[in-house]
């Protein structure tokens, strides 16, 4: 095995953690704009479909960010993003670049990957498993 391959093999679990952290960090503001009206968003009624989306995005994003219950939360969020894509974007056309759904598709598949791969070494999940 070359040094370069060995480096990337050793680095991959940590890159998984970095992917998870940044994904949670980028996902939370979508919920913050719905729940709190932050970042140019508008508050939506909590007991609505958009309110549920806001709760999932903000608090699910927070759990992904810290790496707690990563697999089940990521699976739920992947489903939410698939639902969001087909409800909000797909009716405007097939291609995500044209219907504004690129981020929903990307989040969906990153969450699906995280539900399979787990949280990585820098996570609350890993800390709880050591005890």
Domain membership of residue 85 (yes or no) is yes
pLDDT band at 96 (very low <50, low <70, confident <90, very high): very high
User: Does any domain span residue 111?
Assistant: yes
Rounded to two decimals, the pTM is 0.94
pLDDT of residue 1: 65
Q: Is residue 105 a part of any domain in this protein? A: yes
Cα dihedral sign for 11, 76, 68, 131? Answer: negative
Q: At what angle do helices 49-66 and 3-36 cross, to 10 degrees?
A: 150
Helices and strands of the chain, counted as H and E runs: 6, 0
Nearest to 73 by CA among 34, 23, 30: 23
Is position 127 within any domain? no
For residue 131, what pLDDT is reported? 58
Q: Is 2 inside a domain boundary?
A: no
Handedness of CA 117, 103, 22, 82 (dihedral sign): negative
Domain that holds residue 68: 11-121
Please give the pLDDT value at position 35: 97
Domain presence at residue 126: no
Find the mean pLDDT for residues 65-83: 98
How many structural domains does the chain have?
A: 1
Q: Is residue 130 a part of any domain in this protein?
A: no
pLDDT band at 3 (very low <50, low <70, confident <90, very high): confident
């Amino acid at each position: 095995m070359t040094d370069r391959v060995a480096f990337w093999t050793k680095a991959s679990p940590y890159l998984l953690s970095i992917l998870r952290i940044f994904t949670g960090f980028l996902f939370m503001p979508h919920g913050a704009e719905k729940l709190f009206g932050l970042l140019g968003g508008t508050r939506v009624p909590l007991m609505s479909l958009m309110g549920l989306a806001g709760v999932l995005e903000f608090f699910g994003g927070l759990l992904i960010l810290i790496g707690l219950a990563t697999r089940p939360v990521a699976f739920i969020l992947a489903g939410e993003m698939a639902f969001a894509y087909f409800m909000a974007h797909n009716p405007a056309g097939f291609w995500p670049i044209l219907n504004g759904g690129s981020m929903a598709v990307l989040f969906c598949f990153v969450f699906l990957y995280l539900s399979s791969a787990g949280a990585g070494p820098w996570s609350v999940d890993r800390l709880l498993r050591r005890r």
